Amino acid sequence: MDDIKIRDYIINNFKDDDIKTIKNAIEESIEEQDEVTLPGMGVFFEIVWTNSNEEEKNKILELLKKRFESKNSK
């Protein structure tokens, strides 16, 4: 994997998968809380972010802020 960038590796790994498979990968990554999967989740987030308009980005930011605040208040 030395010659392949992690982004390209992850995108190529999922490019032929259906929605159910991608959803399962996300949910399993979250359930397992395995830090090895964090780079892949980062790539997924990068794809969502770069393909979102300003309104969608603001919704994402609002959601993140609310979740951060609720985590800190516990």
Domain boundaries, the chain: 6-72
User: What six digits make up the tokens of 65?
Assistant: 């802020």
CA–centroid distance for 40 within its chain = 7
Instruction: Please tell me the pTM assigned to this model.
Output: 0.81
- pLDDT at position 71, please? 79
Residues 6+ apart with CB under 8 A from 12: 4
pLDDT digits (tens, 9 = 90+) for 14-72: 999 999 999 999 999 999 998 999 999 999 999 999 999 999 999 999 999 999 999 77
Question: Rounded to the nearest 10 degrees, what angle do helices 38-50 and 6-14 cross at?
Answer: 80
The pLDDT assigned to 11 comes to 95
